[in-house]
Amino acid sequence: MGWMRAVGVSAVMSLASVVSAQPVLALPARSPSARTGSQINALVTSMTREAREETLYAEITAGNIPDFLRPLRAVTVSSVIAGVARTATYYVTCDYLAVGSNVDSFRMPMTPILAQWLADYTQCVLPTRKMVNDIYAATTSKLAPQPIPPSAEMVTVPVFWTHHGMIEGARVAAGFPVGAFLGGIKKDVVITPQLPTRPPPPRVAIYGWHQLNGTPIQPLSLVHENTYADYSHGIRLVRSEMLLDGVTTTVQAILAHPTLHVLLSDEGTIADPRYPVPAPPRTFPYRDNFPSTGTELSWTGRFTAPAVVAFSPVAPGGDGWVLRVRDTSGGIETARTGRVTDTDYMVECDIYCHYRPALAGDGFERVGIFVRDNGNGMFEGISGGGVQGNNYALTWDSHNGRVQCLRTVAGVPEDLLPAAQFRASSGWRRMRIEAVGTQITFQLDGATLVSTADSTHAAGQFGIGYHEYFATNANIVGTHAESFSATTPAGAGIGNWEAY
């Protein structure tokens, strides 16, 4: 997205692409099993701000927004610049960002950090003060602001939800349909040339909340730190691509231009119209080929850190380096990633199965992968301290080659296969689990073992598991994994990010 920062007259007028007749927000389609606004409310209410915003980022980038937010609305402004009439048209969301469905949504206040992550992801920008005024003028359905008396609770999710309900009540009472081009319901998080000039800490700029007479309640303010968001804040996205006199350009190019910026800014030029933020959190797809330099993903070990080691035989398509998961002191070990709120996804990994029937008298080791783990990371068992495994797992046992499709609840595993299956030989095997809604599908080397409807575990982390059942710890080898991936059913994920 570095092309968006080009400036100058030639840059403004030279982009060859054409803005589509009805631009839409660049997000994947919403999954039928995605959480509703009410479910999101229940999910994030008790989370920390950081956890809440990471969860919202994952939900929205997976496409969990109401469909009415996808078609963008045109806002057209004109000005005489150097004696020439110039006209600009840009495209905005009809309402403030929300999660959920058309019939059950939640307008969600956000810090500018999350707002900027989402703007980057969707190839959008945040508006300026002037743009907020012009967008309000262009809205076709205006509501009176509904302030809530200030309190310590105004930054909490319950108050966010209350205010959303107040807006919905007013919208319905006014006869405005879902997806109306609404104005007057929130303050905007905006960009301003003042952002880089303020002393630390970094700030959030807010403005707007227009009354029915057109006067905003909130003047431009940078009082709060960039970690602040209260019930009154809203995020309205503006598509980066826009039109200048019918020719495609970008909001960034216009804002940086020495004369044309007046079409979009009443504060002068803005060379870099964005908040400085850290890299966004990891979301789907997840991939790790475990190169010799170390892991490509961030993995959490249950008791010990997993290690990248040289291994033979080399996995198909591998490089001789694998992730080893084990605890040499014995018992269970796992390497997990993702979030406990992740729902629909598929995990695939090559696992080496070391068949050792000669050691059956001493015990065996179990290797495999798991999905929808509740965060305990206990694979298919219970720790000595009583921590219980809760997940779905595909496993293989070293003494007899048994393959199991396990549902583990409170540390007690149950094989979902209708009859016992065995793969009594050594070798690399590709394991895959698909968890989509209540349908759980287990595959081994491309063949489906079982596909069943089960609602026991609705969400959770995923990873690589190991459990040794030996009497002699010297027999421990561990799980050796190569070519790990976790993807969503739609294949959605982060594209190419700008350098921060």
| Cα(442)–Cα(68) distance, integer angstroms | 36
Is there a domain that residue 497 lies in? no
Q: What is the mean pLDDT of residues 380-409?
A: 97
**Torsions phi, psi of 104, nearest 5?**
-150, 85
**Nearest CA among 404, 437, 434 for reference residue 420:** 404
Joined tokens for residue 255: 């804002």
pLDDT of 418 > 70? The answer is yes
Beta bridge partner(s), residue 226: none
Same domain? 383 vs 236: no
Same domain? 215 vs 91: yes
Give me the pLDDT at residue 489, please: 82
| Residues 285-341: tens digit of each pLDDT | 999 999 999 999 999 999 999 999 999 999 999 999 999 999 999 999 999 999 998
Give me the pLDDT at residue 492, please: 35
Is there a domain that residue 495 lies in? no
Same domain? 21 vs 149: yes
Percent of the chain with pLDDT over 70: 94
Q: What is the mean pLDDT of residues 448-475?
A: 97
| Residues 36-76: tens digit of each pLDDT | 999 999 999 999 999 999 999 999 999 999 999 999 999 99
Give me the pLDDT at residue 377, please: 96
Those residues whose C-beta lies under 8 Å from the C-beta of residue 16, and which sit 6 or more positions away, are: 248
Range of weakest confidence among 9-23, 220-234, 412-426, 474-488 = 9-23
Same domain? 198 vs 241: yes
Is there a domain that residue 65 lies in? yes
Same domain? 238 vs 327: no
Percent of the chain with pLDDT over 90: 91
For residue 448, the domain's CATH number is 2.60.120.560
| Cα(32)–Cα(101) distance, integer angstroms | 9
> Which residue range forms the structural domain that includes residue 374?
286-487
pLDDT of 12 > 80? The answer is no
Is there a domain that residue 112 lies in? yes
Same domain? 303 vs 447: yes
Q: Band the pLDDT of 500: cuts 50, 70, 90.
A: very low
Is there a domain that residue 481 lies in? yes
pLDDT of 13 > 60? The answer is no
Same domain? 237 vs 171: yes
Same domain? 120 vs 24: yes
- In 10 A of CB 218, how many CB atoms? 17
Is there a domain that residue 268 lies in? no
Q: What is the mean pLDDT of the chain?
A: 93
**Nearest CA among 350, 383, 365, 355 for reference residue 464:** 350
Is there a domain that residue 273 lies in? no
Is there a domain that residue 181 lies in? yes
Joined tokens for residue 154: 């105004």
Give me the pLDDT at residue 282, please: 86
Same domain? 256 vs 293: no
Q: Band the pLDDT of 498: cuts 50, 70, 90.
A: very low
| Residues 153-178: tens digit of each pLDDT | 999 999 999 999 999 999 999 999 99
Same domain? 231 vs 324: no
In the DSSP assignment, the letter for residue 499 is P
Q: What is the mean pLDDT of residues 362-376?
A: 97
If one counts the domains in the chain, the total is: 2
Do the beta carbons of residue 285 and residue 487 sit within 8 Å? yes
Give me the pLDDT at residue 254, please: 98
Among 263, 297, 319, residue at a domain's last position = 263
Q: Band the pLDDT of 490: cuts 50, 70, 90.
A: low
| Residues 118-148: tens digit of each pLDDT | 999 999 999 999 999 999 999 999 999 999 9
Same domain? 295 vs 258: no
Q: What is the mean pLDDT of residues 404-431?
A: 98
pLDDT of 484 > 90? The answer is yes
Longest pairwise C-alpha distance within the chain:
93
| Cα(59)–Cα(28) distance, integer angstroms | 11
pLDDT of 3 > 80? The answer is no
Same domain? 115 vs 146: yes
Task: Read off the pTM.
Answer: 0.79
Give me the pLDDT at residue 15, please: 34
Give me the pLDDT at residue 54, please: 94
Q: Name the residue with tokens 């980057």.
A: 120
Helix axes 112-121, 49-61, angle to 10 degrees: 20
**Nearest CA among 57, 113, 151 for reference residue 227:** 113
Give me the pLDDT at residue 6, please: 32
